[in-house]
Structure 1
């Protein structure tokens, strides 16, 4: 159940961060509301996750998956460029999360 909650926290964080881009500095109402609600939901679900998943594992997955997903969303939908350096950074994030989990984080 913990990893299902974590997946929800990641999805909420991704929605909130994407909406923040569209809020234009919090000058547009609905994207601003989605941003605020998304982060509240993300942190609430992350807090619930920590009841069954270790903080190191949960935070590594939450922050890493969110960061990598936002970078890909930026490239695919927001007109941001993808460079070899950016792709390598995303790969390093994913590898880092995998290594933390393989390294015995419980």
Structure 2
């Protein structure tokens, strides 16, 4: 598989990971049926896409990018949907996560 397809699968996996985590919150501890089913379905798609991405991309890069951008996306979702504004330490942490993802992808290439 070409790296471009790996990045496409990674993007879909990140999007589905954000959706799955968002539905986990909306499901209120899996007490609501529809959001619970959607959360589980999105997690299946997420894991499938991440596995396909790791077939074309190095495992460390794929998982670091997935985890960092998913965490950042969930924080943005919480900000927009639930008005949960992180404090200064949370903002610094998110900025450091984004810097880490950029560093891993652009500066941390394997030989």
Bin for the TM-score computed over the shorter chain: over 0.9
TM-score (norm 2): 0.90
Question: Residues of 2 paired with 1:82 and 1:51: CA distance?
Answer: 35
**SS at 2:56's partner residue?**
coil
Q: Which runs of 5+ in 2 are unaligned?
A: none
RMSD: 1.2
Q: 1:69 to 1:105 in 2, by over 3 A?
A: farther
Shift in Å, 1:86: 1.2
Q: 1:8 to 1:85 in 2, by over 3 A?
A: same
Which portions of structure 1, spanning 4 or more consecutive aligned residues, are displaced by more than 6 angstroms? none
Q: Which runs of 5+ in 1 are unaligned?
A: none
Question: Residues of 1 paired with 2:22 and 2:110: CA distance?
Answer: 30
TM-score (norm 1): 0.94
Choose the corresponding residue for 2:13, options 9, 12, 28: 9
Provide the residue aligned with 1:104 in structure 2.
109
